[in-house]
Amino acid sequence: MPWLSYQKALNRALADALAADDTVFVLGEDVRVAASNVTTGLAKRFGPDRVIDTPLSEQGFTSFATGAALAGMRPVIEFQIPALLFLSFEQITNHAHKFSLMTGGQCGVPVTYVVPGSGSRTGWAGQHSDHPYSLFAHVGVKTVVPATPTDAYGLLRSSIEDADPVVVFAPAGALGVREDVDFATLAPVPLGVGRVHRRGTDVTVVAVGHLVHDALAVAEDLADTVSVEVFDPRTLYPFDWDGLTESVRRTGRLVVTDDSNRSCGIAGEVIATMTERVRLSAPPVRVTRPDGAVLPFSLELDRAVQPSREQLVAAINRTVKER
């Protein structure tokens, strides 16, 4: 079977969505020249009316997409860097997200916001290395963080087809991942359904985005001494609380690894919800960036701020020793 890369999966999902639905169109900065490689070939195949280069005004073209969605279209915006979401946070969370709620469902805003390269990209420094998915999950915007190429394809397809705004974070750390895939089996993946990548009996590790691959590597390294279950939420809002609860009830222990800041992050929310639902055999542990972390330009310091496999190993061993 052929190999499918994460970036190619996003590209294929966009192409298939454009081909399947004439109301879908892509817009963003430099999308015709495919600066991020995610929109490669789309302008040539679908033309300039459906693959639209925008001015450098995130608030402007994000508002434009909201209007287009209200008029019956399904826009897909590509943001080249995650910090651009801070500029358009008002347009996404206070406008697009709330139209349906404030009109009793009379108005739908099916816009998809794609960030191909969220998080650290090897020394891109503070304004290009954020992972702000917790902000969008907090306000109730549908928030997706795929870890694998097949999930990147399936979740992006579902996001584009959804009736509500969806933000899709494609972690920089996952863009190089490849999978052996039968293209005929690629299909939409429902939002709000988590995935158990590896079964285990001693501890559940919840890993977000590219950290799924770190968790799987650590689980393999510890296989002789600890049985680790790896749970990938895939969608942070809505979150698959029932699926995670079933996993944690079986293992009795919980570790969360999340490449975003510690305070008010997804890791804290996962731990709080599970302690409300499950009687744990040991205190839960989270592995995150530090409080208020801003990634520095130095590559060494950049790596020091991010969650590591060594930290995850220490967290797992800590929970398992609490017998």
- Residue 34 has a pLDDT of 87
Catalytic residues: 128
Over residues 216-274, the pLDDT tens digits come to: 999 999 999 999 999 999 999 999 999 999 999 999 999 999 998 899 999 999 999 99
41 and 178: one domain?
yes
Confidence at 119, pLDDT banded by 50, 70, 90 = confident
The alpha carbons of the chain give a radius of gyration, in whole angstroms, of: 19
**H helices within the chain, ranges in order?**
6-20, 42-46, 58-70, 84-87, 89, 97-102, 133-139, 149-161, 211-221, 241-251, 266-277, 299-305, 309-321
Q: Which range marks the domain in which residue 41 is found?
A: 3-185
The CATH number that applies at residue 199 is 3.40.50.920
Over residues 260-273, the pLDDT tens digits come to: 889 999 999 999 99
12 and 134: one domain?
yes
Domain count, the chain: 2
* pLDDT tops 60 at residue 323: no
317 and 217: one domain?
yes
For residue 119, give the nearest of 109, 128, 106 by alpha carbon. Answer: 128
Contact indicator for 21, 74 with CB cutoff of 8 Å: yes
Which single residue is written with the structure tokens 């990548």? 197
Would you say residue 250 lies in a domain? yes
Would you say residue 23 lies in a domain? yes
Would you say residue 190 lies in a domain? no
Last residue of a domain, one of 163, 185, 207: 185
315 and 249: one domain?
yes
CA distances from 7 to 4, 20, 27, 58, 132 (A): 8, 20, 17, 23, 20
Contact indicator for 8, 148 with CB cutoff of 8 Å: no
Q: Are strands 178-180 and 3-5 parallel, antiparallel or unpaired?
A: antiparallel
Angle between helices 211-221 and 309-321 (to 10 degrees): 60
The pTM (predicted TM-score) of the whole model is 0.95
Would you say residue 213 lies in a domain? yes
Last residue of a domain, one of 116, 151, 185: 185
Question: Of the ranges 17-26, 69-78, 110-119, which one carries the lowest mean pLDDT score?
Answer: 110-119
176 and 306: one domain?
no
144 and 15: one domain?
yes
Q: What mean pLDDT is reported for the chain?
A: 93
